[in-house]
Amino acid sequence: MEENTLLQQNQWRYIDQSFLGQTFHALQSFAMDDTLCATVGKHHTSAIARTWVHQNTVVLGIQDTKLPYLKAGIEYLKEQGYEVIVRNSGGLAVVLDEGVLNISLLFPETEKGIDINRGYDAMWKLIQEMFFLYEKNIEAKEIVGSYCPGSYDLSINDQKFAGISQRRLRGGVAVQIYLCVTGSGSERASLIKEFYARSLQGQRETKYVYPSILPQTMASLSELLQEDISVQTVLLLLLQTLKKYSHSIYSSQLNEEEAIVFHQNYERIIERNNKALTF
């Protein structure tokens, strides 16, 4: 893989929201990235790295809302103690919990435009660098049988531990990854497998193709590295790696202008989410 200059920034702004716990709703995260996309798009800030963790939540993609028996699937997830939301982008269902670290990298769009693969490659490169000392080959390829499969699934020995997505908005590019750090990858996959079983109820003729999930295709980094690593360990690796690509990193939260835009985005996302989940 060729050197990716997207990671090379004069300055990285770091927004850590991994510690907010129950007070931080997953819908707020999507409003947050929309807000920060606009900020970097206007060149009001340097490139941003944002980290976030949410309590038990299943995030559905737009396609999942077209499942024939979606209500039954959602009822099952709620019985298992998960909240359900719909994100405003593509892809399919993923699991968030306290063992899953999410990282968003936000860049301003360049004059020529940032090629979509270049954004994915930047995140892949970042994760490879972070875990370089573990001497594991981290591949980017579709893992058939995983939930939310895509060509930039990250895996070790054909077991997926992360998925990457992108969102482009108002001159900004957000590259997002979920990293299954601790816990059981196969248990998370089993949850989503049962969600699809209840949401499809054997119906094969559907508008979209939904994954046939094989739980053994997924694992957490703790399982794959055979080491008791934590979300905090990974946060430290992230900061150490970003320092290699930058003259400085500074930590911040939203400024006053961003906070106003965030609240507007959050209200809009709540409204859209409620519409998507109205049966």
16, 51 contact by CB (below 8 A): yes
Amino acid at 45: T
How many CB atoms neighbour CB 122 within 10 A? 21
Angstrom CA distances, 57 to 94, 97, 188, 215, 250, stand at 9, 6, 11, 18, 30
266, 78 contact by CB (below 8 A): no
Backbone angles phi, psi at 128, to 5 degrees: -60, -45
- Is 37 an annotated catalytic residue? no
Active-site position among 148, 169, 189, 238: 148
Tokens of 279: 């049966």
Handedness of CA 244, 235, 172, 250 (dihedral sign): negative
Dist CA 252 CA 39 (whole Å): 14
Q: How far apart are the first and last CA of the chain?
A: 46
Which residues are marked as active site? 148
